[in-house]
Structure 1
Amino acid sequence: MTLPTLFIPHGGGPCFFMDPEGGPPDPMWQPMQAYLAGLIGSLAERPRAILLVSGHWEAAQVTIHAGDGHPLLYDYGGFPEHTYRLRWDAPGAPDVAMRARALIEGAGFPVGVETARGWDHGVFIPMMVAVPGADIPLAQLSLRRDLDPAAHIAIGRALAPLRDEGVLIVGSGMSFHNMRAFGPQVTPVADAWDAALSEAVTDPDPVRRAERLTAWEDLAQARFAHPRAEHLLPLMVALGAGGADPARCDYRDHVMGWTVSGYRFG
């Protein structure tokens, strides 16, 4: 069976785990938490492993993490002390990492390999919700620091065979990510961007879909939504790996005045 590919929102910092007693998050974050909690159950089969691309890891060349992601990388600041002791102790997936490396190199891209970096919060925060038992192995893939959309779509295409090998390919970012713009006054602009992005992502013609995402800066309010594109580029990998499969908006909600969407391919 061919697994879909996903682009998911990972929230803001440890937003789902702010209560030291383990209670529910702020109501604003609860719909996103519910969406993430239902991801694995929404699949026709449980994946044997996850390959995740986070907006919080960039390298000069695309790099694969081939070890366990422990200790975690708490790459956020100003949050309650207990959020720096959160755990997600899933095993790594070095076999998937090496398979991904071979596929990407086969497409003509050099690939770095490392084993020491912890999983950043673009990994462990959404995965604590989606896979609370930490019982699906995971390998993390970096972005390329140049944030070239066409290159990341091509890297995603190279990874597509993993979908037939029981591996769930996940891009973890945010469809809107302007850290200087918050509140209800932002929502109309965020809505305009989200409508333009969703129309491009769900274009039924896969060739045109890739072309429109390669030229994402031409979409309405693009640079307001993403002054820098690192939280959008995981979408390019998921889209590339999705190939010609149908695309749909899997989730949409408003947080902090932002319009935030998730997408599924296949």
Structure 2
Amino acid sequence: MTSARMPTFFLSHGGGPWPFMDGPWRDRCAWLERSLVDIPQHLPQRPSAVLVVSGHWEEPEFTVSSGEHPGMEYDYYGFPQEMYSIRYPAPGSPGLAQRTQQLLAQAGWDAKSDAQRGFDHGTFSLMKVMYPDADVPVVQLSLKATLDPDEHFRAGEAIAPLRDEGVLVIGSGLSYHNLRAFGPAGEQPSASFDAWLRTVMGEPDPRKRRQQLAHWQQAPGARASHPREDHLLPLHVVAGAAGDEPATCVYGELFAGALAVSSWRFSTDTEPSSFDRRAFAS
């Protein structure tokens, strides 16, 4: 049976282990949570597996997690002690890891695999909400430590065939990620960068979209929003995997009342999202 082509997503993943928490930290992610719960309902089919390009994993070469039963990477600090024993027990998929590595190698990358790599919070924070039963296999793909936009775009092009094989490809990051200005100080730069991102994502010519993403540092508020590009580059990977397909905003708000953030779906299906509070923002 032939699989329907899966969309690709760039998803802002929120902060730390928020889906495992109660109280104010969880509450501030309520709108994000609703948008993530909605995603599986609008896929053409249940994914055979999920490949997450995580902004929390960098390696000298593109690397895929290949363990059958991945553990956890508690890559955050300052949270209650119980947040360092949480589990998201989804299986891995050595087969998908091998297929991803093969596609990258065919495109000229010296791709690696890592059977010990566990789920970091860029992965389990999203998956806990989207698939709470942990019954969909999950594989992670690292960033390449060069953090070169074009390399990540081309890596996305290489793995695009996975979309026709029932695999949901997600880029997990944050459209604004400056922890030193995570509050009112980030209001203006995040608004400027988000406005630029919305213009770029709405560009009907995919060649121009790619060119503008490659030169993202020239955008208003760019470096104030991303002192390091680790949380932005997953977007380049999924945009590469999307090819000519248009982008639709599937989540947008002023996170914590100040920071303009957004998530994006690439697909020929461009139905508007009811979770974009900033759809008509100036």
Both proteins in one fold, TM over 0.5: yes
- TM-score by length of structure 2 reads 0.90
Secondary structure of residue in 1 paired with 2:231: coil
Deviations 1:126-182 (A, max 9, x none): 111111010111111000011000000000011111100000000000000001113
Moved more, 87-96 or 69-78: 69-78
Q: 1:11 aligns with which of 5, 9, 14?
A: 14
Residues in 2 aligned to 1:8 and 1:224: alpha-carbon distance in whole angstroms: 20
Moved more, 104-113 or 162-171: 104-113
Deviations 1:169-213 (A, max 9, x none): 000000000011132343232111101012112311111111110
In structure 2, the partner of 1:148 is 148
Secondary structure of residue in 2 paired with 1:8: strand
In structure 1, the partner of 2:265 is 264
Runs of 4+ in 1 over 6 A off after TM superposition: none
Residues in 1 aligned to 2:203 and 2:82: alpha-carbon distance in whole angstroms: 43
Deviations 1:40-77 (A, max 9, x none): 11212111111111000000011111113532111111
Residues in 2 aligned to 1:61 and 1:29: alpha-carbon distance in whole angstroms: 33
Secondary structure of residue in 1 paired with 2:210: helix
Q: Partner amino acid for 2:208?
A: R
Residues in 1 aligned to 2:24 and 2:168: alpha-carbon distance in whole angstroms: 27
Q: Partner amino acid for 2:38?
A: G
| 1:1-266 correspondence runs (5 A) | 1-19=4-22, 26-68=26-68, 70-256=70-256, 257-266=258-267
Gaps of 5+ in 1: none
Residue 26 of structure 1, CA deviation: 3.7
Residues in 2 aligned to 1:112 and 1:70: alpha-carbon distance in whole angstroms: 17
**Percent of matched pairs sharing the same residue:** 44
- CA gap of 1:76–1:69, structure 2 versus 1, over 3 A, is farther
Backbone CA RMSD of aligned residues: 1.4
- TM-score by length of structure 1 reads 0.95
